[in-house]
Structure 1
Amino acid sequence: MPTHRFRESLLQKSTKKSIRRKGHAVTIGEVAKRAGVSPMTVSRVVNGTGNVRESTRERVKRVVSELDYTPNLAASALATAQGTRIALIYSNPSTAYLSELLVGAMRGVTRSAAQLVIEAWNERDPDAERAAARALARSVSGVILPPPLCESDVVVAELVRAGVPVVAIASGRPRTGVSSVRIDDFHASREMAAYLIGKGHTRIGYIKGDPNQTASQLRYEGFLAALHDAGIKPDRALVQQGRFTYRSGLRTGEKLLAQRKPPTAIIASNDDMAAAVISVAHRRGLDVPGDLSVVGFDDTSAATTVWPELTTIRQPIAAMADSAIDILLRAIRGREEAKVMVDHMVAHVLVKRGSVAAPE
């Protein structure tokens, strides 16, 4: 029997049954128990979604008919959500960044009653990542990939091949086969550099992020665009390669401030590295922002746990993770519009705090 006719039959039964039934309403659990399947399977059969063996589908339909079961749409939705497992896989060294991700993801799954699975994939080679992705695809309904794993061709390809919906968070550019939630890294960085230039800074140091992440390159390109707009020639001596870690911020900060003619301002590609630069400046007896202006990127908790508090670009990481949950749930529940990959661009904000002043 086609799905639409099956639903129509159920509706007709429910109309008749509502007239004569005064007591107990049959639940999805009772149908599942009688049919020897899970409530999730009953939900899939009733709603005509998901992969269910034809023999199982017919058995469930027969029990539904025998028990005169009327689907409770609210309960059905809840049962579906409770059987939905979404994985958040991280390999990010920034505790502040990770905490923001978790807050947003937990908010999303709490609202939907889905289950959140959290795994750490640290220092794995491509073969290990491939094996882990293959195993994960068999146990979850969808996956959130924050940086740097959102840049892994191996992981993304394995999950897409398995038909698991994926949302990449904070990747610089959208990828084929996966949805994404991100900010405009190029324009955000350009805006930050223009702000420093507007304060009178022309000798600006720059600490790049991880070279394997597309967002890092876009932020650097935005910095160069701002210099070009202001007619300032880039100085390679003022550019250092960081890794988005506090330790790399210490190393690169030392190199920039040890120069014979150090910069009057430093842009770090994330808050962890910017916080490290402030530490280096203090160790050298420099006043921030009197002697040196320092800015970061992301507006994680690290931005407000240093003194002075960081001027930074607010990337709403928690809200982005929350949005990623919604995108995944639409894809998992099989809505037609969810079959199209989503590239959700979120607005950034330049947050001005006490770490910037005009050069003396």
Structure 2
Amino acid sequence: MIKKRSVTIEDVARVANVSRQTVSRVINRLPSVSADAKSRVEEAIAELGYVPNLAARRMGGARSFLIMAINDRVRTIENWSAGRGNDWVDQMLYGGMLACEERGYHMLFELVDTEPALATGQMQRILTSLQPDGFILTQPHSENPALAEQLKERGRPFVRIGLPNADIPAMSVHMDEAGAARAAVEHLAEFGHERIALLAGDAQYAGSLARREGYAAAMQDAGLAPRVEEGGFSYDKAAAIAADWFDGDDCPSAIIAENDEMAFAVLREAGRRDIKVPEALSLLSFEDTPGVRFSVPPLTAIRQPTAKMIATACDLLMDRAEGKEPGEDVHVLPFELIVRETTGPAPR
């Protein structure tokens, strides 16, 4: 029996009764291998416990077998340093790493500043040192034309996590942001709420703007007056806005928060004033991070398909690296409205 530590590509070829080149083509997911040969190679790899050497694979062709995901440096570090964690990053890694692992690739993760000059300089270092097969640009990097142009000049494909942008033609993956906001308004309006406020995120993010549009359209359709304040996805800013609303003369009967952190701030400020949720105030959040299930009461939320979006982006880039046709350029994934205990009938 061949010892696992000494298994080579030649061992796999001998057990599968194929050439070394055929094994290499199967490992690198290249075409022109019969289904029978592919099956025998995969069985031999499993039997022998062979693990392909990434460096050798990279030398064998133009691919690096690396997919690079780029995220907002400042916001991510702020959340980590404050001990709040970052479920968006957790879901990115969960979806992307498993998708890459399934096809023999590796997903890397880098934080890049959103300031344009800093962003392009940091991206240049990544391109020079790692040369990934493709990039995933999350918001707001997916809205940066300079980064897109830089990647195009280097011949590196990329997928934007965000709405299609005529100024940045590229593959994109996103949730139906406007539709989700509309569903949130309709859910609250069905309970008889008329004073429905939106605690918006950040105008840098195209998705946030789309949510505002969906909210405004749904409010107009319901014959209701919109009320929007920008909380910047920040707990402290959201707490200040909620305090102003609660202490004012025209307090909303329902609030839609664009992320869970802002929703938690609303809950805190409501609790300080003995405003009962959902008896006196209904609250609905975007994201649906794990904490919303354990809040008191558990939050009604729009669940974002973050892991699925990143997995889809990885698959698009791996297909491109393997010479496959990408198909559709725009991929819209569905949201879920998870109804829990923070939404109910409007107070009388």
Q: Same fold (TM over 0.5)?
A: yes
The amino acid across from 2:301 in the alignment is: T
Give the superposition deviation at 1:114: 0.5
Kept after mapping to 1: 8 A contact 2:70/2:110? yes
Q: How many residues align structurally?
A: 302
Kept after mapping to 1: 8 A contact 2:94/2:307? yes
Does 1:132 pair with 2:103?
no
Inter-CA distance 349–25: structure 2 relative to 1 (3 Å threshold): closer
Instruction: Provide the C-alpha distance between the structure 2 equivalents of 1:353 and 1:341, rounded to a whole number of angstroms.
Output: 35
The 5 Å alignment of 1:107-186 reads 107-122=98-113, 124-138=114-128, 139=130, 140-169=132-161, 171-174=162-165, 176-186=168-178
Residue of structure 2 in register with 1:27 after alignment: 20
Give the superposition deviation at 1:22: 10
Query: Which of 245, 262, 276 is the matching residue for 1:256?
Result: 245
TM-score normalised to structure 2 length: 0.77
Inter-CA distance 73–150: structure 2 relative to 1 (3 Å threshold): farther
Instruction: Provide the C-alpha distance between the structure 2 equivalents of 1:180 and 1:243, rounded to a whole number of angstroms.
Output: 24
Inter-CA distance 26–313: structure 2 relative to 1 (3 Å threshold): same
Residue of structure 2 in register with 1:205 after alignment: 197
Instruction: Provide the C-alpha distance between the structure 2 equivalents of 1:275 and 1:22, rounded to a whole number of angstroms.
Output: 59
Instruction: Provide the C-alpha distance between the structure 2 equivalents of 1:22 and 1:309, rounded to a whole number of angstroms.
Output: 56
Residue of structure 2 in register with 1:67 after alignment: none
Kept after mapping to 2: 8 A contact 1:289/1:356? yes
Give the superposition deviation at 1:182: 0.8
Give the superposition deviation at 1:343: 0.8
Q: Once the two structures are aligned, what percentage of the paired residues are identical?
A: 28
Instruction: Provide the C-alpha distance between the structure 2 equivalents of 1:22 and 1:98, rounded to a whole number of angstroms.
Output: 42
Kept after mapping to 2: 8 A contact 1:205/1:256? no
Does 1:297 pair with 2:289?
no
Residue of structure 2 in register with 1:101 after alignment: 92
Structure 2 regions of 5+ residues with no counterpart? 1-12, 46-51, 80-85
Give the superposition deviation at 1:258: 2.2
Inter-CA distance 25–256: structure 2 relative to 1 (3 Å threshold): same
Residue of structure 2 in register with 1:192 after alignment: 184
Kept after mapping to 1: 8 A contact 2:243/2:269? yes
TM-score normalised to structure 1 length: 0.75
Kept after mapping to 2: 8 A contact 1:275/1:302? no
Task: Give RMSD over aligned pairs.
Answer: 3.2
Instruction: Provide the C-alpha distance between the structure 1 equivalents of 2:194 and 2:20, rounded to a whole number of angstroms.
Output: 70
Query: Which of 265, 271, 278 is the matching residue for 1:282?
Result: 271
Instruction: Provide the C-alpha distance between the structure 1 equivalents of 2:323 and 2:194, rounded to a whole number of angstroms.
Output: 53
The amino acid across from 2:95 in the alignment is: G
Residue of structure 1 in register with 2:68 after alignment: 87
Inter-CA distance 23–331: structure 2 relative to 1 (3 Å threshold): closer
The 5 Å alignment of 1:339-354 reads 342-354=329-341
1:226-280 deviation line (CA, Å, top 9, x unaligned): 111111133xxx4211212323322222222221221111111122211221121
Inter-CA distance 253–160: structure 2 relative to 1 (3 Å threshold): farther
Kept after mapping to 1: 8 A contact 2:16/2:41? no
Kept after mapping to 2: 8 A contact 1:173/1:215? no
